[in-house]
């Protein structure tokens, strides 16, 4: 567990670290990857149509107003963060994740981002643009661009407005609208909104949504200057973990990594064949030092 984390930031003596050159992630530290969806909001605010400007897909969504969608995510964030154990306090770790997120967001023409930690293996996105990765998942990845792959996939759920569409499917339109009205008027509806979002967050995205997010993640990796194969690397890690006795938490909302690997692999090959994958500006860098057990 106590592996040196060599993310590419200026090294400084962390004092309590037991491993020179790396640092320990305190077991109960929850990283807070705080991807704030300000740019995403601006992006979506340009349209009032239910045709998704990013994916081109016509969607039935619960919340038409992008400002409300962002407000919903912002209102529910504190509860989601609390349930996940809190935000990571290590500024260097936070900077590392946020820096990756910023690259992806810039590449997408949309957002901004952040990191959240607990020992569970998970990652999630809130409606409107906040993206989180737990330290539990982070510690199982090998390279920095795989972290970017996880963030890119979650940003894909945001741009695809998948939570929003899920809410529509659940026919909770009126309930959500009421909750948001309460929440945005005096703040007393935070718990209610949190419950609605928590329900959606525990609902499995469909296979189509997962694949769309995987592909958007691949696109963002390429546009941000990373190798697209980092996405298959992430899925392989999840596939390996799912073979254990207890699959990671992320499997409850992100099923079937094995079947997604072949689809993502085919997509990347297609892009390469079309000459759409330039040499990466950021070659993969190992996250962990040789001091790792």
Give residues in contact with Zn ion (CB under 5 A). Answer: 210, 213, 254
Q: How far is the CB of 213 from Zn ion (least distance, A)?
A: 5
Name the closest residue to Zn ion (Cβ): 254
Q: Is 5 helix (H, G, I), strand (E, B) or coil?
A: strand
Separation of alpha carbons 18 and 289, rounded Å? 13
> At which residue do the structure tokens 């810039």 appear?
106
Q: How far is the CB of 157 from Zn ion (least distance, A)?
A: 5
Q: How far is the CB of 125 from Zn ion (least distance, A)?
A: 8
**Cα-based distances in Å from 155 to 175, 191, 196:** 26, 25, 20
Q: How far is the CB of 12 from Zn ion (least distance, A)?
A: 35
* For Zn ion, the closer CB: 190 or 256: 256
* For Zn ion, the closer CB: 100 or 155: 155
Helix (H) or strand (E) holding 132: strand 131-133
Q: How far is the CB of 160 from Zn ion (least distance, A)?
A: 10
Selection from 254, 51, 63 nearest residue 177 by Cα: 63
* For Zn ion, the closer CB: 94 or 254: 254
Separation of alpha carbons 160 and 270, rounded Å? 22
**Residue 254 CB coordination number (10 Å):** 25
Phi, psi values for residue 142, rounded to 5°: -100, -35
* For Zn ion, the closer CB: 29 or 138: 138
Determine contact, residues 115/33, Cβ cutoff 8 Å: yes
Length of the chain as a residue count? 293
Phi, psi values for residue 185, rounded to 5°: -90, -50
Separation of alpha carbons 95 and 29, rounded Å? 15
Computed on alpha carbons and rounded to an integer, the radius of gyration of the chain in Å comes to 18
* For Zn ion, the closer CB: 25 or 237: 237
* For Zn ion, the closer CB: 87 or 251: 251
* For Zn ion, the closer CB: 112 or 210: 210
Q: How far is the CB of 156 from Zn ion (least distance, A)?
A: 7
The Cβ-side half-sphere exposure at 147, using a 13 Å CA radius, reads 36
Q: How far is the CB of 122 from Zn ion (least distance, A)?
A: 11
């Amino acid at each position: 567990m106590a592996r040196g984390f060599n993310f590419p930031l200026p090294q400084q003596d962390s004092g309590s670290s037991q491993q020179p050159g790396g640092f320990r992630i305190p077991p109960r530290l929850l990283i807070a990857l705080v991807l704030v969806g300000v740019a995403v909001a601006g992006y979506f605010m340009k349209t009032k149509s239910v045709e998704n400007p990013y994916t081109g897909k016509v969607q039935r969504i619960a919340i038409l107003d992008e400002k409300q969608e962002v407000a919903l995510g912002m209102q529910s964030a504190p509860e989601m963060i609390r349930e996940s154990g809190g935000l990571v306090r290590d500024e260097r770790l936070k900077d590392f994740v946020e820096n990756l997120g910023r690259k992806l967001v810039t590449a997408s023409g949309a957002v901004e981002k952040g990191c959240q930690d607990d020992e569970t293996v998970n990652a999630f996105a809130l409606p409107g643009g906040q993206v989180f990765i737990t330290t539990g998942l982070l510690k199982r990845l090998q390279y920095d661009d795989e972290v970017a792959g996880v963030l890119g996939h979650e940003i894909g759920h945001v741009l695809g407005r998948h939570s929003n569409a899920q809410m529509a499917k659940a026919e909770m339109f009126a309930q959500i609208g009421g909750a948001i009205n309460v929440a945005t008027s005096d703040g007393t509806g935070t718990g209610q909104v949190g419950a609605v979002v928590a329900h959606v967050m525990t609902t499995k995205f469909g296979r189509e949504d997962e694949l769309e997010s995987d592909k958007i993640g691949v696109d963002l990796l390429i546009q941000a200057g990373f190798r697209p194969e980092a996405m298959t690397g992430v899925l392989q890690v999840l596939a390996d973990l799912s073979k254990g006795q207890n699959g990671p938490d992320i499997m409850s909302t992100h099923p079937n990594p094995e079947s997604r690997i072949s689809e993502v692999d085919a997509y990347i090959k297609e892009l390469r064949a079309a000459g759409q994958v330039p040499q990466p500006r950021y070659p993969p860098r190992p996250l962990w030092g040789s001091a790792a057990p």
